[in-house]
């Protein structure tokens, strides 16, 4: 619209327009309606697969019932026989009662009582005569019945044995059935169907009002119901708009009180927010059964499929049975809980997923030492179970190697053009390029506290791990730690504050909770303390998606893990990416990617040498060995089976002979020959 400059603007009127709230005509400004139409056909009739699944279920159910009762048939027969005498007694009693018309006798007796009060005598006489007539007729019929039964009995004596048996069987079955008791049914139920009470809006409303949230109690009428309460998976789903000023988090924090108010087990009640709608939208899902007792679907990757670590892969399911995934790339992880809750299983699941990406190197360290990571051996690049001194030395050497590798990677990334590394980190394409050596490396450490608490190497290991957690993910190196003691000593603060993925199953204190899930988790209602001891494999997963979510991991035991790894190994063999431990090289210690420590040691000793002399000469020989001492040399040689022994040599500084730990050139040569032989195989 053009503005006419000749017409003066009335600024006062304009201001009034802006400042005075104008009523809105509701009809003119009606909000668009969003309606959910109910499906015309039930779910099972909507597709051939669903129909087949329904039919399969019905057939399986029928077969189960048949099998269940067939097995118990002898028990049912025994019960019928045992109940037959009582049944006979009941039948005889009913017969006598009918024949002698006991009901009629009651009527006549009450008529006597009434006639004393003045009832007409004629009425009593009529009732008595009627009863006597009825009795006579019934006695005649009974006599006839006895005669017929006697004749049938005599006929049966002459009948074939099977007829006699069949008749006796039917008679006993009928008498047994008549002798039953309502509280003790003959057959127990083959299928137990638990009926779950429907969730009503009044119940939810009452429960919300009992939580002591001032905003709700002040204006309960403002609680809104954007959708009717309906079935969702194996539970009821209620969507609630909380009164203004109340957030879904306020309710989530009081989950336990909510469960109590709804009279349901804690494991059934799962309030969630819907931040994409608004912070006051609460989605309350109340399961029919506790999460830990409902069926856990198998891991989709157990039977087939591959993983690209740059993309999400299935990890578990949420309380409503929806898939929950994890993306491992660029994410170090911390997993924690009290013992026996599923840390090792969940860490192994992540490592199995890494195994299914043929590019990735997997380095499992099982410090519990019970062999939980044994299934991963056939694809592992580095592997160790246990926390003996040589295991710790092995780990230190491996971590040193990893740190050097990380430094190499940072240099490679720095040297690449920006269009290849727009975010200065390894990309899917770069990981594919084998000449760059930027494949993902996934290190899983179960019971990591054993490393950090080690009196001799603990500090050194911790320093390297902190560096790897901070700088590793961008270069494709992911450190995953699991611990049953989430405190500052077991999970150093630098690590716990720098990990991205966090998975906490049951813990005992809010400190432990916050140590794994991040500080402030408890106060915002994310409480792994609320899990029960029976909630194995169930935890809060944070770092994937915007908000922490409850996830139950897929259950993958050692047998399934072995099958997955067999598949992963075949893929790796075809791709030529098997390396390290999987090829029989327990530890190929290299000070850098192109250095061979055995060859280097052999190069600095003539016949034999002390460890400290080797360390000094190595440092002069190659800068990568700077800082090495006799322990570093020993740790580097041990994986090849070279055990330092007392060696007599002359100390060049003092000119005196002495016995100190050293190695011989022959031992190194033998180790090189053995290693190269394994590689050729």
Ligand X SMILES: Nc1ncnc2c1ncn2[C@@H]1O[C@H](COP(=O)(O)OP(=O)(O)OP(=O)(O)O)[C@@H](O)[C@H]1O
Q: Which residues fall in the annotated binding site for ATP?
A: 337-344
In the bound state, the residue with its beta carbon closest to ligand X is: 537
Interacting stretch for ligand X, rule CB under 6 A, among 141-149, 164-172, 333-341, 637-645? 333-341
Beta carbon nearer to ligand X, 486 or 548: 486
Query: Per CB under 6 A, does 638 bind ligand X?
Result: no
Which of 247, 294, 317, 344 touches ligand X (CB under 6 A)?
344
Q: Least distance in Å: CB of 343 to ligand X?
A: 4
Enumerate residues 480-499 that contact ligand X by CB under 6 A.
Answer: 484
Beta carbon nearer to ligand X, 453 or 573: 453
Answer for the pair 391, 639: CB distance below 8 angstroms, yes or no.
no
Query: Per CB under 6 A, does 337 bind ligand X?
Result: yes
Nearest to 475 by CA among 438, 526, 432: 438
Query: Per CB under 6 A, does 630 bind ligand X?
Result: no
Answer for the pair 88, 179: CB distance below 8 angstroms, yes or no.
yes
Enumerate residues 292-311 that contact ligand X by CB under 6 A.
Answer: 296
Answer for the pair 244, 280: CB distance below 8 angstroms, yes or no.
yes
Q: Least distance in Å: CB of 461 to ligand X?
A: 20
Which of 83, 254, 343, 409 touches ligand X (CB under 6 A)?
343
Answer for the pair 490, 407: CB distance below 8 angstroms, yes or no.
no
Answer for the pair 499, 469: CB distance below 8 angstroms, yes or no.
yes
Which of 303, 340, 411, 669 touches ligand X (CB under 6 A)?
340
Q: Least distance in Å: CB of 402 to ligand X?
A: 24
Q: Least distance in Å: CB of 670 to ligand X?
A: 39
Nearest to 102 by CA among 141, 144, 134: 134
Answer for the pair 586, 380: CB distance below 8 angstroms, yes or no.
no
Instruction: Please give the Cα distance from 502 to 524 (Å, whole number).
Output: 16
Answer for the pair 511, 527: CB distance below 8 angstroms, yes or no.
no
Instruction: Please give the Cα distance from 258 to 267 (Å, whole number).
Output: 12
Q: Least distance in Å: CB of 674 to ligand X?
A: 35
Interacting stretch for ligand X, rule CB under 6 A, among 10-18, 282-290, 336-344, 579-587? 336-344
Count the site residues for ligand X by CB under 6 A.
Answer: 16
Enumerate residues 348-377 that contact ligand X by CB under 6 A.
Answer: 368
Q: With H, G, I as helix, E, B as strand and everything else as coil, classify residue 483.
A: strand
Instruction: Please give the Cα distance from 31 to 26 (Å, whole number).
Output: 9
Burial annotation 160-179 (CB, 10 A radius, 16+ → b, else e)? eeeeeeeeeeeebbebbebb
Enumerate residues 508-547 that contact ligand X by CB under 6 A.
Answer: 536-537
Beta carbon nearer to ligand X, 255 or 552: 552
Instruction: Please give the Cα distance from 253 to 525 (Å, whole number).
Output: 4
Beta carbon nearer to ligand X, 175 or 505: 505
Q: Least distance in Å: CB of 333 to ligand X?
A: 14
Q: Which contiguous run of DSSP H or E holds residue 660?
A: strand 657-664
Query: Per CB under 6 A, does 339 bind ligand X?
Result: yes
Which of 173, 341, 480, 561 touches ligand X (CB under 6 A)?
341
Q: Least distance in Å: CB of 640 to ligand X?
A: 31
In the numeric block, the tokens 């049953």 are attached to 484
Answer for the pair 331, 498: CB distance below 8 angstroms, yes or no.
no
Q: Which tokens go with 165? A: 């048996």
Enumerate residues 545-584 that contact ligand X by CB under 6 A.
Answer: 552-553, 555
Assign 3-state DSSP to the chain and report helix, strand, coil percentages, each to 5: 50, 15, 35
Interacting stretch for ligand X, rule CB under 6 A, among 192-200, 250-258, 273-281, 342-350? 342-350
Ordered DSSP codes for 205-259: HHHHHTT--HHHHH-GGG-EEEEEEEE-SSEEEEEEEPPTT--HHHHHTTHHHHH
Query: Per CB under 6 A, does 394 bind ligand X?
Result: no
Strands 441-446 and 361-366: parallel
Query: Per CB under 6 A, does 345 bind ligand X?
Result: yes
Phi-psi region of 461 (alpha: psi -120 to 50; beta: other; left: phi over 0): alpha
Query: Per CB under 6 A, does 342 bind ligand X?
Result: yes
Q: Least distance in Å: CB of 484 to ligand X?
A: 4
- Binding positions: 337-344
Q: Least distance in Å: CB of 495 to ligand X?
A: 18
Beta carbon nearer to ligand X, 318 or 588: 318
Query: What does the DSSP 8-state code read for residue 38?
Result: P
Q: What x/- string results for residues 243 through 282 when contact with ligand X is judged by CB under 6 A?
A: ----------------------------------------
Q: Where are the alpha helices (DSSP H) in 369-457?
A: 389-415, 428-432, 449-452
Interacting stretch for ligand X, rule CB under 6 A, among 86-94, 203-211, 335-343, 626-634? 335-343
Q: Least distance in Å: CB of 23 to ligand X?
A: 58
Beta carbon nearer to ligand X, 367 or 624: 367
Beta carbon nearer to ligand X, 345 or 457: 345
Beta carbon nearer to ligand X, 319 or 440: 319
Instruction: Please give the Cα distance from 408 to 250 (Å, whole number).
Output: 49
Instruction: Please give the Cα distance from 9 to 12 (Å, whole number).
Output: 9
Q: Least distance in Å: CB of 370 to ligand X?
A: 8
Q: Which tokens go with 467? A: 């560096």
Binding site for ligand X (CB under 6 A): 296, 337, 339-345, 368, 484, 536-537, 552-553, 555
């Amino acid at each position: 619209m053009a503005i006419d400059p000749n017409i003066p603007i009335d600024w006062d009127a304009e201001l009034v327009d802006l400042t005075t709230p104008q009523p809105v005509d509701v009809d003119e400004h009606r909000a668009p309606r969003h309606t959910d139409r109910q499906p015309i056909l039930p779910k099972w009739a909507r597709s051939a697969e669903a129909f087949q699944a329904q039919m399969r279920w019905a057939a399986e159910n029928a077969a189960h019932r048949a099998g269940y009762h067939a097995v118990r048939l002898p028990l049912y027969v025994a019960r019928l026989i045992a109940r037959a005498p009582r049944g006979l007694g009941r039948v005889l009693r009913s017969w006598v009662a009918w024949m002698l018309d006991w009901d009629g006798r009651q009527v006549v007796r009450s008529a006597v009582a009434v006639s004393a009060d003045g009832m007409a005598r004629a009425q009593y006489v009529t009732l008595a005569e009627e009863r006597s007539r009825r009795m006579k007729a019934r006695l005649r019929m009974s006599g006839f019945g006895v005669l017929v039964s006697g004749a049938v009995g005599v006929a049966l004596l002459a009948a074939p044995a099977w007829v006699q048996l069949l008749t006796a069987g039917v008679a006993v079955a009928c008498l047994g059935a008549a002798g039953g008791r309502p509280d003790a049914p003959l057959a127990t139920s083959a299928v137990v169907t638990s009926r779950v009470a429907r969730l009503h809006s009044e119940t939810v409303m009452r429960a919300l009002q009992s939580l002591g949230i001032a905003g709700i109690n002040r204006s309960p009428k403002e609680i809104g119901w954007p959708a009717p309460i309906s079935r969702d998976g194996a539970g009821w789903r209620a969507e609630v708009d909380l009164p203004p000023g109340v957030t879904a988090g306020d309710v989530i924090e009081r989950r336990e009180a909510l469960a109590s108010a709804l009279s349901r087990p804690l494991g059934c009640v799962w309030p969630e927010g819907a931040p994409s709608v608004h912070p006051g939208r609460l989605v309350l899902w109340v399961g029919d059964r506790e999460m830990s007792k409902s069926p856990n679907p198998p891991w989709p990757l157990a039977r087939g499929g591959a993983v690209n670590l740059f993309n999400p892969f299935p990890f578990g399911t949420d309380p409503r049975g929806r898939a929950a995934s994890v993306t491992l790339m660029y994410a170090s992880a911390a997993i924690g809980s009290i013992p026996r809750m599923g840390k090792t299983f969940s860490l192994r699941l992540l490592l199995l997923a890494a195994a299914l990406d043929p590019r990735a190197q997997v380095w499992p360290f099982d410090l519990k030492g019970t062999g939980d990571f044994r299934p991963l051996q056939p694809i592992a690049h580095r592997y160790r179970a246990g926390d003996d001194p040589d295991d710790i030395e092995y780990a230190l050497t491996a971590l040193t190697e990893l740190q050097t590798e990380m430094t190499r990677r940072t240099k490679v990334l720095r040297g690449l053009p920006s269009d290849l590394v727009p975010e200065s980190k390894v990309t899917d394409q770069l990981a594919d390029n084998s000449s760059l050596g930027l494949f993902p490396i996934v290190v899983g450490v179960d019971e990591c506290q054993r490393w950090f608490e080690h009196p001799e190497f603990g500090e050194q290991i911790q320093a390297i791990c902190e560096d790897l957690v901070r700088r590793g993910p961008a270069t494709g190196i992911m450190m995953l730690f699991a611990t049953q003691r989430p405190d500052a000593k077991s999970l150093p603060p630098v690590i716990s504050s720098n990990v991205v993925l966090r998975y906490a199953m049951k813990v005992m204190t809010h400190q432990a909770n916050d140590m794994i899930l991040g500080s402030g988790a408890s106060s915002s209602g994310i409480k792994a303390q609320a899990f029960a001891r029976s909630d194995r494999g169930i935890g809060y997963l944070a770092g994937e998606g915007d908000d922490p979510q409850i996830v139950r991991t897929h259950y993958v035991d050692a047998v399934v893990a072995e099958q997955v790894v067999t598949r992963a190994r075949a893929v790796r063999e075809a791709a030529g990416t098997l390396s390290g431990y999987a090829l029989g090289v327990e530890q190929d210690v290299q000070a850098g990617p192109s250095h061979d420590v055995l060859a280097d040691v052999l190069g600095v000793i003539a016949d034999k040498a002390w460890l400290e002399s080797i360390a000094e000469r190595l440092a002069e020989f190659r800068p990568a060995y700077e800082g090495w001492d006799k322990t570093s040399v020993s740790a580097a040689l041990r994986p090849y089976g070279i055990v330092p022994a007392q060696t007599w040599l002359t100390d060049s500084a003092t000119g005196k002979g002495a016995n100190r730990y050293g190695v011989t050139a022959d031992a190194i040569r033998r180790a090189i020959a053995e290693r190269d032989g394994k590689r050729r195989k």
